[in-house]
Structure 1
Amino acid sequence: MKITFLGTGTSQGVPVIGCQCEVCKSLDFRDKRLRSSIHLQIDDSSIVIDTGPDFRTQMLREGISSLDAVVYTHEHKDHTAGLDDIRPYNFMQNKDMPVYGTAPVLSQLKREYSYIFAEKKYPGVPQVITHQIDNKPFIVAGNTFLPIEVLHYKLPVFGYRIGDFSYITDAKSILDSEMAKLKGTKTLVLNALQQTEHISHLTLKEAIEWISIIKPEKAYLTHISHKLGKHKSVEDMLPENIFLAYDGLQLNL
């Protein structure tokens, strides 16, 4: 399995428009963060988790020429706003794109992209096949995805475990029964928005506490805002098995 971090930023990305803080003005490429998403290459299958507003730029940057499916974590626009840009894959692969999401996610997509789901479609619109999921394992392109439900304030969000790899974004709290699903994970990706308390995202301190419970071999932090601090400064103070992810980082598992 090869994991590519397409984006590691929060909803505004980094730099934030108009911001003059040291992170937003940083010349370190690792401090430039598009909206959070990952690409999974598992044997011959190519899967994306979330298509944010930077999806087109991300796929061009990484040269990803085939895509078998899109899996969504939740319905917020910083995770869904790039759905229209699956069209080139429709054309190249001559097939509809399988899209996986919970009932609220699919309902939101149908409202936001009504033209995709219209009875009489305009020529050239994206072609999708929707698959409604719940909190049970499901198969994507031959790979088993185990949902991990977390709460983003009060909104249910799905993280996913695929084998020994787990990906969680937009989390603030989790039930013990869902945390138990993460035990044995070797590589964990977890959100860590900023240093100070936030109503709907884990802080850096809280993310480290979760990691100490889950005990993966390695953990990578994502969904990062400019308020977390400069990449190098933050990573220098992390425990030895915890790293800040950055856009374009690849993990070969």
Structure 2
Amino acid sequence: MSYPALTITFLGTGTSSGVPMIACDCPVCTSNYKKDNRLRSSIMVQSATTTLVVDAGPDFRYQMLRAKVKHLDAILLTHSHKDHLGGLDDVRAFNFFSHQPMQVYATEFTQEAIVREIPYAFYEARYPGLPEVKLNTMNSAFPFMVGDIPVTPIQVWHLKMPVLGFRFGAFTYITDANRIDEEEKEKIKGSDVLVLNALRKEQHISHFSLSEAIAVSQELSIPEVYLTHLSHQMGKHEDVSKELPAGVMLSYDGLQLQLPGKED
């Protein structure tokens, strides 16, 4: 399968509360080190001609401003939780400049949550300034294209909730998971880079812990692994980084990766 060279930008690498967390005085939340400050998890994937974002949480507006994004072709949503779709109203700015609805890819279940989140975007009687979105249905059975970027959805489990991860060429991104079925692991194998959620060191009911995420990455033999969706309970970036095995790294807001393309 051919795919273009990609730039991956980590727009946010924190959990649902972000880091620092409101009202917390722990050493991580009071750290002045920039890599300890984490917005809600999201990435931007860019080829020479296409720009897409995975998830648009409550920090979406600031993430777009911070990354100086002028054009966005599509948003892919992993699931229906607020920290992954709560910023969709802010697509209005892209609507204004592009004169086009924002292409939003989501499962049918997540689409129901979008309609609940921004119901006014779907009113029959519209007035100027409302966000415009075009909902596109996706599921783990069918790969698709966004511009020239191939997308392979990967179903993972967030306790009992199905969540979608995505493979873009040789890059795979998975967040909010604590279990991956064997048939879905096959879609990940052969990736050059894997991004995987690791909430904290202690076990959690619906997220991989640090040791669990490392074990999954080693089972799949991925050479380069970045951990995301990190809570303040994980510890300081510099301290935890010293404990990680070779090839496993903590991601951080603003991190950029350059991945080469492939031609058949």
Output the TM-score relative to the length of structure 2.
Answer: 0.94
Structure 2, unmatched stretches of 5+, are 1-5, 260-264
Percent identity of the aligned residues?
Answer: 49
Q: Which residue of 2 aligns with 1:105?
A: 110
Q: Which residue of 1 aligns with 2:262?
A: none
2:45 is the counterpart of 1:34: no
2:51 is the counterpart of 1:46: yes
- What do the CA deviations read for 1:96-132 (whole angstroms, capped 9, x no partner)? 1111000001111011111001111132111111101
Pick the aligned partner of 1:76 from 65, 81, 106.
Answer: 81
Per the TM alignment, residue 142 of structure 1 is displaced from its structure 2 partner at its CA by 2.9
Native 8 Å contact 1:69 1:141 kept in 2: no
CA distance in 2, matches of 1:93, 1:157: 30
* Count of aligned pairs between the two proteins: 253
CA distance in 1, matches of 2:223, 2:181: 22
Q: Which residue of 2 aligns with 1:148?
A: 154
CA distance in 1, matches of 2:194, 2:124: 41
Native 8 Å contact 2:154 2:166 kept in 1: yes
Q: Which residue of 2 aligns with 1:251?
A: 257
Pick the aligned partner of 1:164 from 150, 170, 190.
Answer: 170
Native 8 Å contact 1:115 1:122 kept in 2: no
Native 8 Å contact 2:176 2:229 kept in 1: yes
Higher relative contact order (CA 8 A, sep 6+): 2
Equivalent residues in 2 for 1:213-252 (5 A)? 213-252=219-258
CA distance in 1, matches of 2:22, 2:113: 27
Output the TM-score relative to the length of structure 1.
Answer: 0.98
Runs of 4+ in 1 over 2 A off after TM superposition: none
CA distance in 1, matches of 2:258, 2:183: 29
SS at match of 1:233: helix
